[in-house]
């Protein structure tokens, strides 16, 4: 058996019941097999065995009191995966589906994503199975305070800097930051995605969605095309989806779908983003309300946005939301590109199929890296006690995304797999981390 399959078998044996982590490890390790074969030093120094094992995994009880006076208990997680190239960095997910396997898949992906940004940040992820939906502000506050009263022991501006993710937006980051400050007495850049009045960066809110669109535009440019005039389908209606829709529309595309966990909308005239923002960001409501703003739009509770004909598809909701049959429909409808705003939204067989059919497929670890890259820019501003203008941050973000496309394109070609951006992104992300690990010795 090969080195890669030996390591993958050990991952499965040692981490039972963590299918998402197995899926992420398989995708990365199989696509870097070419590099590992070319470089025997990686096997000799057990780089793969080390890279699939987190530095540490922290799990803790999060008790909080609901508005009825009942004590509720959730589970908290922080997986610090790898800090070979910089302090741990990665978001906190608050969603009932959260478990250790999901946090490990996200933390593992984060290592390579953070490396691709070219910035000095290591990989981590955390969160809880707490569901902020349907909770009052006071309940969310009490949860965040309890969560941070344990997490604060393990994080710091130069050790581990968490951020937002699904279910963790500006409100949750604010409550957690306040608690950290109170417990430690430190006013430091320990979290990113902070509000603008207390150390947040302009353009951080927009960064993941904008970055996705910048990378896609570069990928299309490389193929002699552009977003202008294209029809786009988007899934999700959260932070990533909203700003992807905004930037794609600005660049002349027409976005016709969005979704949430209850259903999806199809607006053939182009999504009214002002309406979606009001529903989601102001009212914390459901997309079913969209019909109140646009009576002509369709709302569906079955099927998916991938059945709608489009040139470009942006999955921006969650993992494993685009399957093989969706990919076949997209190909039948002549999709040109699929770029992932979410982490691992496409099933592996669906991703392979898209690549085989010549669709330009940009994996999340490259396409959505604009969020963490801008978080790293927030860290820089906090360290310097400065804040840059929106235009400055946006320009840096755009450069970073163009550079990420360049790296994944170059590495795909280098290994004879033109336009296989999964291979290109994984190889580029891996080499930098592996070389840093080698330089730092067998620790």
CB contact burial 427-437 (16+ within 10 A = b; e otherwise): bbbbbbbbbbb
Candidates 238, 363, 424, 429; binder of ligand NDP (CB under 6 A) is 238
Region binding ligand NDP by CB under 6 A among candidate stretches 66-74, 136-144, 330-338, 340-348: 340-348
According to DSSP, the residues that pair with 93 across neighbouring strands are: 127
Cβ-contact 201, 393 below 8 angstroms: yes
Residue 55 has a CB neighbour count (10 Å cut-off) of 18
Site for ligand NDP contains 236 (CB under 6 A): yes
Of 146 and 375, which has the nearer Cβ to ligand NDP?
Answer: 375
Region binding ligand NDP by CB under 6 A among candidate stretches 26-34, 293-301, 315-323, 397-405: 315-323
Of 8 and 98, which has the nearer Cβ to ligand NDP?
Answer: 98
Site for ligand NDP contains 164 (CB under 6 A): yes
- The CA distance from 172 to 137, in Å, is 9
Site for ligand NDP contains 355 (CB under 6 A): no
Site for ligand NDP contains 343 (CB under 6 A): yes
According to DSSP, the residues that pair with 61 across neighbouring strands are: 75
Q: Pick the catalytic residue from 104, 113, 125, 398.
A: 125
- The CA distance from 176 to 115, in Å, is 26
Candidates 11, 317, 366, 431; binder of ligand NDP (CB under 6 A) is 317
125 a catalytic residue: yes
Q: Which two tokens stand for residue 129?
A: 């199975």
User: Counting beta carbons within 10 angstroms of the beta carbon of residue 62, is it exposed (0 to 12), middle (13 to 18) or buried (19 or more)?
Assistant: buried
Of 36 and 78, which has the nearer Cβ to ligand NDP?
Answer: 78
Quote the distance between the C-alpha of residue 374 and its chain's center: 13
Rg of the chain (C-alpha set) = 21
Cβ-contact 113, 372 below 8 angstroms: yes
Query: Least CB distance from residue 184 to ligand NDP, whole Å?
Result: 25
Tokens 């910035």, located at residue: 119
Residues 249 to 288 in contact with ligand NDP, rule: CB under 6 A? 260-262
Region binding ligand NDP by CB under 6 A among candidate stretches 17-25, 33-41, 134-142, 313-321: 313-321
Query: Least CB distance from residue 12 to ligand NDP, whole Å?
Result: 23
Candidates 165, 172, 217, 267; binder of ligand NDP (CB under 6 A) is 165
Q: Supply φ then ψ for residue 284, to 5 degrees.
A: 50, 45
Of 70 and 301, which has the nearer Cβ to ligand NDP?
Answer: 301
What is the four-CA torsion angle of 431, 379, 90, 194, rounded to 10 degrees? -160
Of 48 and 317, which has the nearer Cβ to ligand NDP?
Answer: 317
Q: Supply φ then ψ for residue 92, to 5 degrees.
A: -115, 120
- The CA distance from 133 to 359, in Å, is 36
Candidates 322, 335, 342, 397; binder of ligand NDP (CB under 6 A) is 342
User: Counting beta carbons within 10 angstroms of the beta carbon of residue 118, is it exposed (0 to 12), middle (13 to 18) or buried (19 or more)?
Assistant: middle
Of 165 and 394, which has the nearer Cβ to ligand NDP?
Answer: 165
Residues binding ligand NDP: what is the number (CB under 6 A)?
A: 22
- What letter would DSSP give residue 161? E
Of 176 and 316, which has the nearer Cβ to ligand NDP?
Answer: 316
Pairing of the two strands 337-339 and 360-362: parallel
Query: Least CB distance from residue 375 to ligand NDP, whole Å?
Result: 8
Query: Least CB distance from residue 329 to ligand NDP, whole Å?
Result: 18
Site for ligand NDP contains 101 (CB under 6 A): no
Query: Least CB distance from residue 333 to ligand NDP, whole Å?
Result: 22
151 closest CA partner among 119, 122, 173: 173
Region binding ligand NDP by CB under 6 A among candidate stretches 64-72, 335-343, 378-386, 418-426: 335-343
* Secondary element (H or E) of residue 399: helix 390-414
Site for ligand NDP contains 208 (CB under 6 A): yes
Residue 295 has a CB neighbour count (10 Å cut-off) of 7
Site for ligand NDP contains 132 (CB under 6 A): no
Candidates 368, 381, 411, 419; binder of ligand NDP (CB under 6 A) is 368
State which residue has the least CB distance to ligand NDP.
238
- What letter would DSSP give residue 200? P
Residues that bind ligand NDP (CB under 6 A): 164-167, 208, 236-241, 260-262, 316-318, 341-343, 368, 371
Residues marked as catalytic: 125
């Amino acid at each position: 058996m090969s080195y890669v399959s030996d390591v993958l078998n050990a991952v499965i044996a040692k981490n039972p019941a963590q299918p998402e982590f197995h899926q992420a490890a398989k995708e990365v390790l199989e696509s870097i097999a070419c590099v590992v074969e070319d470089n025997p030093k990686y096997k000799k120094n057990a780089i793969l065995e080390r890279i699939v094992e987190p530095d540490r995994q922290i799990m803790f009880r999060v008790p909080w009191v609901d508005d009825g006076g009942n004590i509720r208990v959730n589970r908290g997680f922080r997986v610090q995966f790898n800090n070979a190239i910089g302090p741990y960095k990665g978001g906190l997910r608050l969603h009932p589906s959260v478990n250790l396997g999901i946090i490990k898949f996200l933390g593992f992906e984060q290592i390579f994503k953070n490396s691709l940004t070219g910035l000095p940040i290591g990989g981590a992820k955390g969160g809880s199975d707490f569901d902020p939906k349907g909770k009052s502000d006071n309940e969310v506050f009490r949860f965040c305070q309890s969560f941070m009263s344990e997490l604060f022991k393990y994080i710091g501006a130069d050790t581990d800097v968490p951020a937002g993710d699904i279910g963790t937006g500006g409100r949750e980051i604010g409550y957690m930051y306040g608690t950290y400050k109170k417990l430690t007495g430190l006013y430091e850049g320990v979290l990113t995605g902070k509000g603008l009045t207390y150390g947040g960066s302009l353009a951080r809110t927009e960064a993941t969605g904008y970055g996705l669109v910048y990378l896609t535009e570069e990928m299309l440019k490389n193929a002699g095309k552009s977003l202008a005039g294209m029809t786009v389908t988007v899934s999700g209606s959260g932070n990533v989806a909203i700003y992807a829709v905004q930037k794609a529309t600005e660049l002349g595309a027409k976005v016709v779908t969005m979704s949430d966990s209850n259903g999806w909308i199809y607006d053939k005239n182009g999504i009214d983003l002002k309406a979606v923002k009001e529903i989601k960001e102001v009212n914390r409501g459901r997309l079913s309300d969209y019909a109140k703003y646009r009576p002509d739009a369709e709302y569906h509770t079955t099927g998916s946005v991938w059945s709608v004909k489009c040139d470009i598809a942006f999955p921006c909701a969650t993992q494993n939301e685009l399957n093989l049959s969706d990919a076949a429909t997209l190909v039948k409808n002549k999709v040109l590109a699929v770029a992932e705003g979410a982490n691992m939204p496409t099933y592996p067989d669906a991703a392979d199929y898209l690549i085989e059919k010549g669709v330009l497929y940009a994996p999340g670890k490259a396409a959505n890296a604009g969020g963490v890259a801008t978080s790293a820019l927030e860290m820089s501003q906090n360290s310097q006690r400065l804040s840059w203008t929106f235009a400055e941050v946006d320009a840096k973000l755009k450069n970073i995304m163009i550079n990420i496309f360049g790296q994944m394109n170059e590495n795909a070609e280098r290994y004879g797999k033109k336009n296989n951006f999964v291979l290109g992104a994984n190889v580029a992300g891996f080499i930098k981390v592996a070389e840093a690990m080698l330089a730092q010795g067998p620790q």
